[in-house]
Amino acid sequence: MNAAKALLLVAATLGVWAQARLTVDQLLSFVRSSIELKHKDKDVAEYLRAVKLTQSLDEREIVELQAAGAGPKTIEALRELQRASKALPAPERKPPEPEKPSIPPPRLDEQRHIMDKVREYALGYIKQLPDFICTQVTRRYIDPTGLEFWQRADVITARLTYFEQKEDYKVILINGVTTDRPYESIGGATSTGEFGSMMREIFERETEARFRWERWATLRGKRAHVFSYRVSKPKSKWRIDYERRLDITPAYQGLIYVDRDTEMVMRITLEAEDIPADFPIQQVSDVLDYDYTEIAGQQHMLPLKAVVRMRENKFLVKNEVEFRLYRKFAAEATVTFETPEPLPAEKTTEQPPKP
């Protein structure tokens, strides 16, 4: 995307949102994002002066934003909003949940045993997968403002065939319109590695990833160990490509969620570290969820959803990739493809650990 087009998109999007009426939560999210992205104080203040709130703004929230790094002009604009919203209803706040008894972590020897079992599982994962066909739906979003006001760019529906441990993608629909374009030609941000290569590379001995047990979690109703890990740049195989012109292999860190009962991987997160200052992309992250899926009467742990995020200056990109409608591979089968509705949020939302 050239600079002129990007600037036009930013201006258009700001114009839309400047006329919007925001809740206090939306306002707080905007200011925190602006602080994180190092937006100019005067630009943030100018935007805030065009905002109207639907709820009253509390002094405590302004103080917290000031402590987080909001500039003086931003604070002045927030106080103007506070005065203008004084007569509006206060935001509804959920009462804090009572503290639950903490669950003790596994002993160190148990943690090592768990990691040995997970490594064995990860390195053999691809070999135990059945041959199958599924529908892959990629919903791609952009935000030229850097404020996470997402606009959907397109929806790509593809047939994913997994046969003899090899993946094959065929684009079926783009925005609901039938197409026969090759997967490689659709452009924009895409991702691969969901069917085992990402997991395997983290756990290979030569990667020398450093693991540490962090906490308990509940994911899709199941108790899970959460391990953190880090892979150094010299050992990394995670390649980030920019417009097929530039690429880097950064260090990265993340979390591994492991089903306590089966010792199978339920979620992997990755976040790039130490990206060179002259590389166009400043932030890249990936969250990949696996879930139990039945194929031909047997349960398998297979990819459920991946969310990939990237930032180039203020320009944000988000891909939400879902893997749906798994069925046994049959070369002679005739299958009709359609785009399923998005998964409900609770399928990938972490819950507090259950006792």
Mind listing the pLDDT tens digit for each residue in 163-179? 888 888 888 899 989 88
What pLDDT is recorded for position 99?
A: 59
Residue 21 vs residues 41, 45, 61, 144: alpha-carbon distances, Å: 21, 16, 18, 20
User: Nearest to residue 343, comparing CAs of 220, 256, 245?
Assistant: 220
pLDDT digits (tens, 9 = 90+) for 221-232: 999 999 999 999
Choice between 20 and 315, residue whose per-residue pLDDT is larger: 315
The answer, as to whether pTM is greater than 0.85, is no
**For residue 6, pLDDT beyond 50:** no
- CB-facing half-sphere around the CA of 225: CA atoms within 13 A: 26
**For residue 15, pLDDT beyond 50:** no
What pLDDT is recorded for position 3?
A: 33
Q: Please count the other Cβ atoms lying within 10 Å of the Cβ belonging to residue 1.
A: 11
**For residue 327, pLDDT beyond 70:** yes
What pLDDT is recorded for position 37?
A: 83
The rounded distance, in Å, linking the Cα atoms of 161 and 270 is 25
Asked if 36 and 65 count as a contact pair (C-beta separation under 8 A), the reply is: no
R_g of the chain computed on alpha carbons: 23
What pLDDT is recorded for position 190?
A: 59
Question: With bands split at pLDDT 50, 70 and 90, how would you rate the model's confidence at 193?
Answer: low
pLDDT digits (tens, 9 = 90+) for 76-103: 999 999 999 999 998 887 776 665 667 8
Residue ranges of the chain assigned to CATH 2.50.20: 108-351
What pLDDT is recorded for position 329?
A: 86
The rounded distance, in Å, linking the Cα atoms of 265 and 289 is 9
Classify 108-351 by CATH class.
mainly beta
What pLDDT is recorded for position 103?
A: 84
The rounded distance, in Å, linking the Cα atoms of 18 and 49 is 9
pLDDT digits (tens, 9 = 90+) for 247-269: 899 999 999 999 999 999 999 99
